[in-house]
Structure 1
Amino acid sequence: MTGELLWPVYATPDDLTAIEAVPLQARGLPETTYALLTRAAGLWPDRIAVAVLPDANWQEPHRRTFAQLLADVHRYANLLHDLGVRRTDAVALMAPNCAELLTATLAAQLAGIAAPLNALLSPAHLGALLRRSGARVLITAGPELAPDTWTSARRLAATGVLDTVLVVRPTAATAAPEPLPVLPGVTVAYLDAEAQHSDPSRFAGTVPRSSDLAALFHTGGTTGEPKLAAHTHGMEVADAWMLAAYPGFTAESTVFAALPLFHVNALVVTVLMPLFKGQQVLWAGPLGYRDPALYPLFWKLVQRYRIASMSAVPTVYAALARYPVDADISSLRFAVVGASPLPTAVRDDFQAHTGATLMEGYGLTEATCASALTFPEAFRPGTVGQRLPYQRLKAVRISTDGIWKDLPPDQTGVLAISGPAVFPGYVVGRDEHGYVLDGLGKLVDGWLDTGDLARVDSEGFVHLSGRAKDLIIRGGHNIDPTVVEDALLAHPQVAAAAAVGRPDPHAGEVPVAYVALAPGATVGEDELRSWARARVAEPAAAPKTVTVLDELPVTGVGKPYKLPLRADATRRAVLDAITEVSPRATVEVRIQDGTALATVAVRPGTDPAAVEAILGRFAIRWELRSSAEHHGSRPGAARRLAAPAVPDRGALA
């Protein structure tokens, strides 16, 4: 492949047309993630590929060159092949980030299909995902690395769904490993020790093709149980290339990685993308961004390792902005933010504090990872960036009978995506050929219904204006509202329940719930909150508040209508926050273009800068007014929220 074909000029938004004049198939991309790794090892065998920071030792990372990484992947993949893993077999992976997990993830995609699991999910969800994946091999953290994860792994093994449990150790562990228990009917062994004598020079099995499945990622959806979204090798390579082609990502720039590997961003942005240009990736310790010890040291890490790019959620950047810049961080040029809305105050504070540009992006698991990204030198306020090359984005109106109508540029509707990064479907079963996949209503003629409300302008820049879907996004983590609703509906005195996201300056959103009670009910809001907390499997999904209403709002045809609830949750959040600087302020929230707009009125003499600083912490639309009169509702003043006179929600888009 020639350099001109692989790396077109991609410096400004105007280059998109010229890039797409050449078909993607003609650019000579590696066919699979394994081919991508093999290419990197051939081009830069002695260059450092990964440097992994072990616990409490930020100065001495565990380093592997591209050649060493490929050899390790061969060893692990050959072990999996010896255990019977074949092309259509999944390998489950459940561990905090560590050197062995990085290798194991790539090896699972070579020998079979990687199926990463979030160990913080409830045991019921983990078991359901494991059964749906069909994985008989689990690679998991051992007692040294993550005792709680190890306990979960042993419980899963006890259910009889596994044949083999391979245990990973902390990065650069030197002490003798702990003896592993005997589990009836299950082989239990340390991964690296078992792979020690496997062939490091080549893979003994059949290498994958572009159309073969590479990974199964669990994702939130419209039901209480996570779904498994299927990724092909071609999808992952294409999306990684689109990011690697982005201006500024050079071989000399170090990438910082701290998101967990069960997240698509960690795999595509910080594992696969750097392989294209031979970039070094510096991996944080097992806790990643959840490690409080990382933040006071972060600017020193940027200086020591010349970190040029990173990817995180808004709460990470808000936390970093609180620590003095005590090092030379001039290398940090691309700080990418996504997964949840970016508050204006977070953007402004971080950029003023560091001088580094926050690059907002947009993506979802069903479209591999990234679909739009901001140009640091061509910032468009109010957008999440321009669509990436070869991806098509449009807004559509979806009628109540499911008919799509394309909308012209700059008109708001449901955002839809097509192109080489769109997934083939969710896992719904298995047959003699492998996994049975179904779009479950999200795929229409190759287009993916994202569930997000947006308008796309004529240049392909995306302006998000809310979410048509009801997912609550807490710190980048998707929370299905039905989990909360089902827990509350289990109470004998609850007649109806609805959960929505309440804006939060730290987490982006937190779940809150509204309920209507059965006649004669005597249960109180605090008791209902305790009831829900005891029955919601995931602590992050437990509602912060439960509010009792006479009835929940519905549309003109009687379907649940959550926008008024979101408006009320927004009003309460804003009013609580600004009371500290303006005790007599009032807040009104109205629905505009499918999203909430908060109007805040303060008494004359109130410092507007103080109020604006508080409002800027929230990822919401707001306007500030000064008024001598009180207007707007008080907290708890009404127990009824009326829905606007609008048709069914499907027609709103």
Structure 2
Amino acid sequence: MNENLLWPRYAEPTDLPAIEAVPLADRGLPESIHALLSRAAARWPDRTALTVLPDAARWREPVHRTFAELLADVHRYANLLHELGVRRRDAVALMSPNCAELIPATLAAQLAGIATPLNGGLSRGHLTELLRRSGARVLITAGPQLAPEVWDTAQSLASELDAILVLRPTGTTGAPTPLPGIDGVRVGYLDALASEMDMSTFDGEPPRSSDLAALFHTGGTTGAPKLAAHTHANEIADAWMIAANSLLEADSVLFAALPLFHVNALLVTLLAPLFKGQQAVWAGPLGYRDLALFGEFWTIVEHYRIAAMSAVPTVYAVLAQCPVNADITSLRYAMVGASPLPAAVRENFQSHTGVTLVEGYGLTEGTCASARSFPAAPRPGTVGQRMPYQRVKIVRPGTWEELPLGETGVLAIGGPTVFPGYVVARDEHGHVLDGLGKLSDGWLDTGDLARVDADGFVHLAGRAKDLIIRGGHNIDPAIIEDALLSHPQVTAAGAVGRPDEHSGEVPVAYVTLVPGATATAEDLLAWAAGRVPERAAVPKSVTVLGALPVTDVGKPYKLALRADATRRVLGEALAPFTGVDVDAVIEDGAVVATVAVSSEVDETGVKAVLARYAVPARVEVRP
């Protein structure tokens, strides 16, 4: 590996042309994730790679692993998987909150076979389907001490498995909780079963760059989540693009708290630090869901000298309300992604902490990151510049016709991080992959509306499917959400289109509030009316909820809000009829109104009312 070519200057937007003047193939990137880890262990054997906190309350009692120790653990675990019959084309499922053992287990699964991280919060039906689709017969999972509810789910999946390897909480000592026997399934604690395995090398076939490294589930709003495949080349290229950031040095410490079933956790806080030998401090199993973490957060930053962190906008909205009670000058910047960053969240966090929020953009099908921002060269209104060797273009919705520079359309991404497809079947050669309409000649349809400027900066305009179209006028829900998020008592906001008989749809909004909030829906409606920049986008109503809906993989789920808005407006429209029950369900990514009427109700009249709205509807007559 040519170290001189490995680290070009990458601190400003103007650095991009010089970086790309050298072909990516000439930079000598490692062949695989294992090769990357082996390089780190050889160069910095005694340097701390991982610092894992048991939980927020015990952040002063971490478990440390050097790069050499991490590689030894990966070898032990991978050799155990190999002994269990896992080979290059075999998937290994992992279902656990973050802990010290899960990190090397994930890398071992990529070494012995193909890692398939699962969100234990998915329904058991979805998990069963994902196991079957991946073909995984070995599950690495949280045990009864680490996450009892996940352990219960794991046992319910035993009929799909040959082996269940169990993880213990970070820093646990003493005798483990006895595990039940399961007929036909090998059950045991991962670390104990791997204790006698060779830690110096891997006994099986090492992966090549074109081999699959991981299968990540994505979507999950309707039907089972899809499984997006990553190759080792995908992950190595994207991790290098992230690591190439000249603003972080070898001694920079990163904070990691997102779950390892999320590509950001794997790429940004595990793989990218391996390139420069950087330390990552991992939060406890609840991550950012541990409320105690926010009370200790700034002290943790000071103690470990955290230089960078990665989180979603809602985390920064909460941190903006936590008193800064420590020296946080080590924190160079904070990365944000996964969902659009409201302007109010940015302003509140930065004014409260003095720390710059740096937006990024990416998606699972693009491996992880495809655009990044620069703290010293802010471009308000963008999610960053395309990353080196990645291509971007704007195409007309529904086609692949490229639009001129500056026009808004669907964002498409090309280059070495574009995934090879979704798993649709398995045959004698391994997993069968298909782009399912998302891929065309090496380009990925992101489903995001955007425009790209001459410098390669991406200006998002919302999800193509989330646009509110009022009488033919396109409304970006973000301008409504930004206005509501500027209210000091609003913690989250989602704007969607509500069916309207005159305009097709009109905007409405849903919000969550801080504990003890006094603001009413009427107050918030008036607040929005004075701040939404265009009259047509002022919401017709604001509804306060305890929590906004999210998908099974934790992303905002606006279909559920659209369904609620549909149910409410049709319920009001049909109120003059007695004996009518109105609901709205989600089918194949669309909202469908379902109306049950008694036999005495004027069915023709009900259908006439429904016909005034552009909503698919079913009317069922009850006996």
**TM-score band w.r.t. shorter chain:** 0.7 to 0.9
List aligned pairs for 1:201-216, cutoff 5 A: 201-216=200-215
Alignment match, 2:430: 434
List aligned pairs for 1:374-413, cutoff 5 A: 374-399=373-398, 403-413=399-409
Per-residue CA shift, 1:115-167, capped at 9, x if unaligned?
A: 0000111111111111111000000000000000000000011xx21000000
Cα distance in structure 2, aligned partners of 1:135 and 1:587: 54
How much does 1:641 deviate? 11
8 Å contact kept, 1:571–1:588: no
Q: Cα–Cα, structure 1 residues 430 and 584, in superposed 2: closer, same or farther, change >3 Å?
A: closer
List aligned pairs for 1:351-362, cutoff 5 A: 351-362=350-361
How much does 1:171 deviate? 0.6
8 Å contact kept, 2:91–2:137: yes
Q: Cα–Cα, structure 1 residues 229 and 316, in superposed 2: closer, same or farther, change >3 Å?
A: same
List aligned pairs for 1:304-343, cutoff 5 A: 304-343=303-342
Q: Cα–Cα, structure 1 residues 456 and 445, in superposed 2: closer, same or farther, change >3 Å?
A: same
Q: What value does the CA root-mean-square deviation take over the aligned residues?
A: 3.1
8 Å contact kept, 1:75–1:196: yes
Cα distance in structure 1, aligned partners of 2:175 and 2:512: 55
How much does 1:60 deviate? 1.9
Alignment match, 1:129: 130
TM-score, structure 1 as length reference: 0.76
8 Å contact kept, 1:553–1:641: no
Cα distance in structure 1, aligned partners of 2:612 and 2:445: 25
Describe the SS at the equivalent of 1:250. Answer: coil
Alignment match, 1:447: 443
How much does 1:337 deviate? 0.5
8 Å contact kept, 1:96–1:141: yes
Per-residue CA shift, 1:352-410, capped at 9, x if unaligned?
A: 111110001110000000000110000001000000000001110034xxx32111111
Alignment match, 1:244: 243
How much does 1:568 deviate? 3.0
Q: Does 1:22 align with 2:22?
A: yes
How much does 1:571 deviate? 11
Cα distance in structure 1, aligned partners of 2:416 and 2:144: 40
Q: Cα–Cα, structure 1 residues 162 and 552, in superposed 2: closer, same or farther, change >3 Å?
A: farther
Per-residue CA shift, 1:404-436, capped at 9, x if unaligned?
A: 211111110000000000000000001111000
List aligned pairs for 1:181-260, cutoff 5 A: 181-220=180-219, 223-260=222-259
Cα distance in structure 1, aligned partners of 2:323 and 2:30: 43
Describe the SS at the equivalent of 2:369. Answer: coil
Alignment match, 1:100: 101
Q: Does 1:118 align with 2:113?
A: no
Cα distance in structure 1, aligned partners of 2:45 and 2:320: 37
Alignment match, 2:420: 424
Q: Cα–Cα, structure 1 residues 241 and 571, in superposed 2: closer, same or farther, change >3 Å?
A: closer
Q: Does 1:568 align with 2:568?
A: no
Per-residue CA shift, 1:543-599, capped at 9, x if unaligned?
A: xxxxxx687987xxxxxxxxx36x2347999xx86733786985898999xxx8438
How much does 1:250 deviate? 1.1
Describe the SS at the equivalent of 2:208. Answer: coil
Q: Does 1:598 align with 2:599?
A: no
Of 571, 579, 598, which residue of structure 1 is paired with 2:522?
579
Q: Cα–Cα, structure 1 residues 121 and 552, in superposed 2: closer, same or farther, change >3 Å?
A: farther
How much does 1:343 deviate? 1.2
Describe the SS at the equivalent of 1:201. Answer: coil
Structure 2 gaps, min length 5: 469-476, 514-518, 542-555, 557-567, 574-608, 615-623
Per-residue CA shift, 1:21-77, capped at 9, x if unaligned?
A: 111000011111111100000110000000000133111210000000000000000
Alignment match, 1:59: 60
8 Å contact kept, 1:568–1:589: no
Describe the SS at the equivalent of 1:406. Answer: coil
8 Å contact kept, 2:508–2:539: no
Alignment match, 1:622: none
Q: Does 1:75 align with 2:76?
A: yes
Alignment match, 1:6: 6
Q: Cα–Cα, structure 1 residues 380 and 67, in superposed 2: closer, same or farther, change >3 Å?
A: same
Q: How many aligned positions are there?
A: 532
Alignment match, 1:286: 285
Cα distance in structure 2, aligned partners of 1:287 and 1:262: 13
Describe the SS at the equivalent of 1:450. Answer: strand
How much does 1:221 deviate? 6.1
Q: Cα–Cα, structure 1 residues 471 and 102, in superposed 2: closer, same or farther, change >3 Å?
A: farther
Cα distance in structure 2, aligned partners of 1:199 and 1:112: 17
List aligned pairs for 1:598-617, cutoff 5 A: 598=538
Alignment match, 1:37: 37
How much does 1:9 deviate? 1.3
8 Å contact kept, 2:51–2:62: yes
Cα distance in structure 1, aligned partners of 2:113 and 2:612: 50
Cα distance in structure 2, aligned partners of 1:334 and 1:2: 29
Alignment match, 1:143: 144
Cα distance in structure 1, aligned partners of 2:307 and 2:297: 13
How much does 1:225 deviate? 1.7
Describe the SS at the equivalent of 1:231. Answer: strand
Cα distance in structure 1, aligned partners of 2:306 and 2:104: 22
8 Å contact kept, 1:101–1:168: yes
Cα distance in structure 2, aligned partners of 1:591 and 1:381: 19
How much does 1:4 deviate? 2.4
Q: Does 1:457 align with 2:453?
A: yes
List aligned pairs for 1:491-530, cutoff 5 A: 503=481, 505=485, 508=492
Alignment match, 2:590: none
Describe the SS at the equivalent of 2:523. Answer: coil
8 Å contact kept, 2:492–2:511: no
Q: Cα–Cα, structure 1 residues 451 and 201, in superposed 2: closer, same or farther, change >3 Å?
A: same
How much does 1:3 deviate? 2.6
Q: Does 1:469 align with 2:465?
A: yes
Alignment match, 1:520: none
Per-residue CA shift, 1:491-540, capped at 9, x if unaligned?
A: xxxxxxxxx999585675569897xxxxxxxxxxxxxxxxxxxxxxxxxx
Describe the SS at the equivalent of 1:293. Answer: helix
Cα distance in structure 2, aligned partners of 1:36 and 1:310: 22
Per-residue CA shift, 1:200-219, capped at 9, x if unaligned?
A: 00000000000000000000
8 Å contact kept, 1:117–1:218: yes
Cα distance in structure 2, aligned partners of 1:572 and 1:182: 45
| Aligned-pair identity (%) | 65
Alignment match, 2:295: 296
8 Å contact kept, 1:221–1:471: no
Q: Cα–Cα, structure 1 residues 73 and 392, in superposed 2: closer, same or farther, change >3 Å?
A: same
TM-score, structure 2 as length reference: 0.80
- The 4+ residue runs of structure 1 with deviation greater than 6 A are 511-514, 549-554, 570-573, 587-592, 635-638, 640-645
Alignment match, 1:415: 411
Cα distance in structure 2, aligned partners of 1:580 and 1:550: 23
8 Å contact kept, 2:255–2:269: yes
Give 1:404's aligned amino acid. W
